[in-house]
Amino acid sequence: MMFKLQKLTTLLAALPLLTTAFPATQATEKTPLPLIIWHGLGDSYRADGLKEVAQLAEEINPGTYVHIIHLDESDNGDREATFIGNLTEQIAQVCEQLASEPILSTAPAVNALGFSQGGQFLRAFVQRCNFPKVRNLVTLGSQHNGIYKFQSCQSSGDWVCRSAEALLRFGRWSDFVQSRLVPAQYFRDVNEYDSYLEHSNFLADINNERELKKTLYKSNLMSLNRFGMFMFSDDTTAIPKESAWFAEVNQTNGEITTLRERPIYKEDWLGLRSLDEQGKLDFEIIPGPHMALSEKVLTEIFTEYFGPVEVSDETSTLPQLMVAQGT
C-alpha cells in the first residue's frame, strides 16, 4: 500500500539512498546492521516516501545501509509487480537479489522492515532463504493470515489495478489467477478453506497449513531475535486488520480468534509459539488507518528494533543459502 511519511523534518536532501557500507568492526563494537525494506501494494522502490524512510533510518542509526527490494529496475515495472506476478518466483528472485548484494551477504546479519503485503513477503524470505540472516523483523499492517476482501482500485484510470481486478473474474482459485494476481495469492476465506488449501500458491504454503509441514520454515523463523507485528487500529484497507497479528476473524459475526487460540500457534507450525514463549514476538498497535505513519512512530521502531548491536558469534553465524523444497 502506498503511503507518504507524515511530518518528516530535518531530512538531508543530498543523502544518497544507499548509505555507507557496512563497516569492519571488532567483536565487541556496536554497529547498526543493514536494513532491507519491502514495500506494499501499488508502491515502487523509487517512491519518495520510501526514500524518506531510508533517510530517517540513517538519521536515527547513523551508518545504516538501506536496501529497498525491487522486482524491476523501472518505477512502473516495480509497481506493476506488486499487482501482477507469481509470488513463488518473486520471492526466489528476492532471495537471489539479497544474496548477491555484497554489503548484505557479508554482514553478520540484517534487519528487515515490511510495509503491508511486503511484510508477509519478507517473512516468506526468512522462512525460505534467510540469507543474509535476518535478526529483527518488523511488519506494518501486513496480512499474515491473509485477506477475505480485495481492495478496490482508487482510480478508474489505474490500468494495472483494473487489470488485476479483471483477473479475479476468472476465479480466484484457478491456476491462472493464483500464478498471476498477487493479492489472490494471500486471499484466505475459511468458507472456501478446502479450495484454499488445494490451490493457494503462496499463503497456505508459507503458513504451513497443509498436512506436510516444512521444518525449515519453522527453524528459520525461530532464528529471529525479535518479530514485531504492528496492526493499524483503524485499518479498513487490509481486511481483516487483525491478520497483522495472525488472528482469524469470522466474516459473519466478527468474532476474533487470536493467534494464541489457533492451531498454527498451539501446534507451533511456524515457531511462533516458541518465539512468544521466549519474549521475542511482539503485538503492537499503531493509531490510525492503514499505512498512516508518522516520523514519531518510525523513530520509535528504528530505535527499538534497528539500533546498533554488538557483533558477536551469534550474529556472525550465516546460514547456507537455500530455498525450501518440501523440507
Q: Of 43, 78, 205, 235, which one is the catalytic site residue?
A: 235
At 164, list the grid cell. 488485476
List Cα–Cα distances, 95 to 101, 121, 147, in angstroms.
10, 11, 25
Out of 44, 67, 116, 223, the active site residue is: 116
Point out the catalytic residue in the list 39, 70, 199, 290: 290
Residue 177: alpha-carbon gap to chain centroid: 22
235 is a catalytic site residue: yes
Which residues participate in catalysis according to the annotation?
116, 235, 290
